[in-house]
Amino acid sequence: MEIAVELSQILINETADQQVIVLKETEGSRSFPIVIGMPEILAIDRRLKGIELPRPLTHDLLAAVIEQLGGRIEKIVISDLRDHTFYATIHIRHGNKAVRIDSRPSDAIGLAAGLSVPLFVEDHVFDQLDET
């Protein structure tokens, strides 16, 4: 089962290599951090703020390619947690075909940022986090 979440915090520390995003249940109180890199957090922040650059960066390019090929990003799912590493899946609809693409959570969230794409977490991921 998938649980709806939202990106509740972006924590940028310019003196460190590791940055943090926090996902929180939309209908609950559970939340958890995901550690990501500086380029990824800056891309997420820029896309959320709607800052456009003269030339597309990677997330902008990928979003444009999906759209130009007739696809639509339906949702992002944080699908697994293995050995302290989160996994995500980008769900794309292309006509009547559903396509799932494996992704790092930071890239999937960066792609979805600013596009009003829903975010979800598989319930077993929350269960694993509750056990730690």
Give the CATH number of the domain where residue 115 resides. 3.10.690.10
Nearest alpha carbon to residue 74 among 123, 2, 8:
2
Q: How confident is the model at residue 99 (pLDDT cuts 50, 70, 90)?
A: very high
> Which of 20-29, 51-60, 109-118 is modeled with the greatest confidence?
20-29
pTM here is 0.92
Identify the three-state secondary structure at position 65: helix
Domain encompassing residue 82? 2-131
pLDDT at residue 132 tops 70? no
pLDDT at 14: 87
**Consecutive H or E run containing 30:** none
* 57 burial level (CB within 10 Å; 0-12, 13-18, 19+): middle
Q: Per-residue pLDDT tens for 11-45?
A: 999 888 889 999 999 999 999 999 999 989 999 99
pLDDT tens-digit map of 58-82: 989 999 999 999 999 999 999 999 9
> In terms of C-beta density within 10 A (0-12 exposed, 13-18 middle, 19 or more buried), how is residue 31 classed?
middle
Give the whole-angstrom CA distance, residue 120 versus residue 24.
10
Closest CA to 47 of 119, 131, 116, 96: 116
pLDDT computed for residue 109 by the predictor:
95
**Which pLDDT belongs to residue 114?**
83
How many domains are there within the chain? 1
Q: Give CA–CA dist 124/99, Å, rounded.
A: 22
Round to whole Å and give the CA distance between 127 and 121: 11
